[in-house]
Amino acid sequence: MSQPFNISVFLFLFALLTSCQKEIQINSSSFHPTPLIIDLPSNFPPIDHPEENPLTEEGVNLGRHLFWETKLSGNNTISLQIVIFLNTPLLNLTALVQVFMEIWAQETLWYYRT
């Protein structure tokens, strides 16, 4: 066999064997999340969330960081906040153009009627 092939096989096997490791056991008894208590106004409906996944201060903080994180996008420039903001009904460009055209048409027709 050729020398470059032998080196390639050796490097592949070395990478395969060194990347395999035992599963790391995480001691979950040392982590105690802080429950989050939300004081809702009396006219707000109660928040329904599953009991097996309670709200915690650490979870809300993680969600806040992920909401603004741009590294999760394909080109590291777009955060979830921008995606949600652009999908809001207020920024629906088709509806916005239609409203503008209706207002313009009404004003133009009113102008020509007088």
What span, in angstroms and rounded, lies between the C-alpha atoms of 12 and 1? 16
At 43-82, the pLDDT tens digits run: 988 888 888 888 899 998 998 888 888 888 888 887 887 7
* Residue listed under structure tokens 């040392």: 30
Q: Is residue 27 part of a domain?
A: no
Q: Which domain holds residue 101?
A: 54-114
* 57 closest CA partner among 73, 38, 42, 41: 38
Q: Is residue 19 part of a domain?
A: no
Q: Is residue 34 part of a domain?
A: no
Q: Is residue 4 part of a domain?
A: no
Q: How far is CA 77 from CA 63, 87, 88, 109, 112, in A?
A: 18, 17, 20, 45, 48
Q: What percent of the chain has pLDDT over 70?
A: 69
**Higher local confidence (pLDDT), 105 or 14:** 14
Give the chain's domain count: 1
**Higher local confidence (pLDDT), 64 or 91:** 64
Q: Is residue 88 part of a domain?
A: yes
Residue 35's SS3 state is strand
